[in-house]
Structure 1
């Protein structure tokens, strides 16, 4: 599962065949550590994704749509200045290392031809994307600036001389001609796991999984040279494979590795990476861009959960309210037995067959004042019960609201975060940095709900956050259409755009409602459905909150394959 040097060897060939001689037509930086170059080559546009993400660093052609920020970054502007209209002349790999060089020819402001290198280093948290002028080998800019305080070996700053990463003393497997050392490793390390570790220290560009696959291949028989060459020749004619290992682990490889099963083959390495990284990279982008939102929601949940515990504790203390009333009434009945200066007295409790009850008294107050004191305490606690119950209900609603927001962030695409941020700003949970600007405040546009198509061709709409949910249910949907939502579970509003949907469509829409909810990974999720005319929004409630009646309930288990199928049907419609 590593984007290692050997995998990059295969990817370089794929990219060169598709992109070489192409022209850069567009440059965008949708996410902080990722650059997308749209390259027109062989009559087709290709989106080349260059990622320096610490977790998902890679280079590929992607079909996954992205949303650009309202204002381009400085790095994106510099890339546009130097690379817009440039021709991609070559793609080279630095030996079998995790470094790719994209060579471009372009024109500067004076019309003179320039040669530029866009260098992508895929090295986990040290990954970077750097633009270098080939004429003087000076750095024009890098997506991550690295100063001398971080790296003493080399600077990655504008104007600095570009220096390659420290050269490895390991052997390039694609140019290796002698195999005596590999034979010796097999003798020294008969155990496959230990051999794999030794191979990583000998051969360049081997991730852990590739080293293990090579070790297993070498163990087949004594023909070391043949097995070694056969293994690496497969990187020149890849069969992109997604392997399911165990219950939850999935691995992507350039070809099927030994001892893997449930393999899925893809037409290209880029398609393979899209399938593997689609959800993983999106979750990472959401965490990165929604960090402030996540922090606000966690803070509000912690505050309200603590408040709820305190309120319940206070409510529990009011359960003794009747005891104060009874003591006050008994004191009033037997005032003639009470003398000023007493600190306590035992009197018959006529509520419990005249059993004696001990009552504490204040020696500074008269008998009548002592009785009134108990009545006042009773009234105070009685009033507190009503107040506490109201506060408990309001606090529980706040917790439900923020649990819903938390669930929406977990399920959100990066573009959905804009709506969630706006909602939190409107609720004064998050400071609106735009409100103090002098320019006229414009009404923000809410993103559209996500579209799906059922197997019988019916359109299904899914709101991805509270603002989308409210607009979808209360404004977009026809009163005769069908509305769905998980029962008593935070989730999306789902609308079937049909007055008389089939049972199959209702079940598929229920699957969407369950999938886009907090119960995404659960089984037998209850989903309510009813006509939109039965939905009502109480005055003063938060966005997305509705009540409904005349519902029916389905039990469904969220099926990601079905969700993908319904999504793909929309794209091809």
Structure 2
């Protein structure tokens, strides 16, 4: 559900219960939009995260550890100056709006007690975190400055008097009476859920749907009864924080609005629920964002190499025409007396062909016959010299494109850990900017470095290893697998290196390993995917080869159709 006014109401109560009277210790700003307060309260050390991230604005007590910048931002320095060591007086919500205020008493520059406010506006892409002089209501600073050119409605700048966001004219659901509520739904609206959202503060579509679903009848009176039941939970602070799954996606809820059969993980505290949910969400989004960034770079690099290949192939075609230049040069030398001065072409006998037909030879009219001949001999020699180099460059470029196809596939199928290893590889390869020395330390060759590789257990009990990126592929094939182990890979299709550890397995284990190889390949959505298999002693990595590239022989081929259900039925070792 959205981080709406009902969630903030529950959280404000919980935070006030836990943190009021607590002392603020360290203050950090791990990200430009995120603030972390370490608070000593009730004999416990707590960490309060406040994030004005424009995609996922949020706040809660967290157990997560954050990496802080070497140099604290100016916003952090200002807070440290004024409220580090300060005492939290209270934490409260503005009516049922998505605005939370933390009041802090601390010593000012003269040593006198002074009231300050951290004010958090959770408003989607307009979310902000402000630091106010609590006595003068003056903005001392904010995470996001809003200038007059950015908004004609409301500016947020240091030195300005703080103004609440413009009111939307909604009623407070905690104080609305039955007499005020019923007329809102008479006559009965076409969309009562939408009407609830439009009429009441802090009610999101999710909560609106839950209230309508609880109504005994689709009448104003029936809706009031369902609303009153939900409101009592808010007034008396009876919450039921859960993370649940719907449509394959996780979500959270703090009010008892779910049906009993929905899969869920229950929590005793709102913060614990939010901390768990957003930690999962942040990792998912980080993976998605990193994956998209890597794919963009890889596709650009592939496009560049494809353009290079087209140019090289055009050069090759020209080089293969070199014999024609030599012929023209020889004929011009032999029959120069037949070439008229200033001509742009000549028709000369080709004594190399039977019957000596005349052929047309293009000429530069500014050059003599001898000079034209010399020009063609030079073109011939240049083309002849460049031919081996062009062929070599074509092969290297094709290898680069094949490598990029392999990495693109790996990114598309990767989780966060694998994406991190792929990113380091691309830095080492010079495709991404970064510290190559640091990336080389993380390539699995450093002493003590552990490369985690996914392991599956076949129905016969054999261990099957599956590399999910080139670092894992190289480590698996060249360092982990033994000579008598069986190695599998999709035939001429980008995919994972797969190894069956041990001997004596039957066709069943071989087929399960082939299924994994086909599923974790570019042929995942194809049928009858060819999978080569051979003993690991027949697999070699050439010196200087690209990450993940090997050559092999003595292979046999079997064909499998990837099936996600069958892949999921193969137990994965933890």
Q: Does the alignment reach a TM-score above 0.5?
A: yes
For 2:127, the equivalent position in structure 1 comes to 127
For 1:93, the equivalent position in structure 2 comes to 93
Q: CA deviation at 1:169?
A: 1.6
Q: 1:423 to 1:101 in 2, by over 3 A?
A: same
CA deviations over 1:144-196 (Å, ceiling 9, x no partner):
2223333455443333332222233201112222255445526342x33xx33
Structure 2 CA distance, aligned partners of 1:227 and 1:483?
A: 64
Q: CA deviation at 1:122?
A: 0.7
What CA RMSD, in Å, does the superposition of the two structures yield over aligned residues? Answer: 5.8
Q: 1:328 to 1:407 in 2, by over 3 A?
A: same
Structure 2 CA distance, aligned partners of 1:188 and 1:169?
A: 21
Other structure's SS at 2:185 match: helix
For 1:161, the equivalent position in structure 2 comes to 161
Q: 1:214 aligns with which of 200, 211, 214?
A: 211
For 1:244, the equivalent position in structure 2 comes to 246
For 2:460, the equivalent position in structure 1 comes to none
Q: CA deviation at 1:265?
A: 3.0
Q: Is the 8 A contact 1:452 1:461 kept in 2?
A: yes
For 2:229, the equivalent position in structure 1 comes to 230
Structure 1 CA distance, aligned partners of 2:66 and 2:526?
A: 31
The structure whose Rg is larger is 2
For 1:139, the equivalent position in structure 2 comes to 139
Q: Does 2:543 match 1:538?
A: yes
Which consecutive unaligned segments of at least 5 residues does structure 2 have?
444-448, 458-463
Q: CA deviation at 1:121?
A: 0.7
Q: Is the 8 A contact 2:481 2:499 kept in 1?
A: no
Q: Is the 8 A contact 1:33 1:51 kept in 2?
A: yes
Q: 1:47 to 1:327 in 2, by over 3 A?
A: same
For 1:438, the equivalent position in structure 2 comes to none
Structure 2 CA distance, aligned partners of 1:89 and 1:494?
A: 60
CA deviations over 1:211-254 (Å, ceiling 9, x no partner):
33334444744423211112344553224242313xx6554333
Q: 1:200 aligns with which of 187, 197, 200?
A: 197
Q: Is the 8 A contact 1:480 1:533 kept in 2?
A: no
Q: CA deviation at 1:359?
A: 3.5
Other structure's SS at 2:178 match: coil
Q: 1:320 to 1:290 in 2, by over 3 A?
A: same
Structure 2 CA distance, aligned partners of 1:25 and 1:309?
A: 62
Other structure's SS at 2:60 match: strand
Structure 1 CA distance, aligned partners of 2:273 and 2:537?
A: 41
Which sits farther off after the overlay, 123-132 or 151-160? 151-160
Q: CA deviation at 1:549?
A: 5.7
For 1:73, the equivalent position in structure 2 comes to 73
Q: Is the 8 A contact 1:120 1:128 kept in 2?
A: yes
Aligned length: 545
Q: Is the 8 A contact 1:416 1:464 kept in 2?
A: no
Give 1:382-461 correspondences, 5 Å limit: 382-396=384-398, 424=427, 427=430, 430=433
Q: Is the 8 A contact 1:234 1:255 kept in 2?
A: yes
For 1:176, the equivalent position in structure 2 comes to 176
Other structure's SS at 1:172 match: coil
TM-score (norm 2): 0.69
Structure 1 CA distance, aligned partners of 2:515 and 2:87?
A: 47
CA deviations over 1:442-470 (Å, ceiling 9, x no partner):
999759767689799xxx9999998x879
Q: CA deviation at 1:203?
A: 1.0
Q: Is the 8 A contact 1:339 1:367 kept in 2?
A: no
Q: 1:420 to 1:251 in 2, by over 3 A?
A: closer
Q: Is the 8 A contact 2:212 2:223 kept in 1?
A: no
Q: CA deviation at 1:34?
A: 1.2
Q: CA deviation at 1:129?
A: 1.1
Q: 1:61 to 1:479 in 2, by over 3 A?
A: same
Which consecutive unaligned segments of at least 5 residues does structure 1 have?
436-440
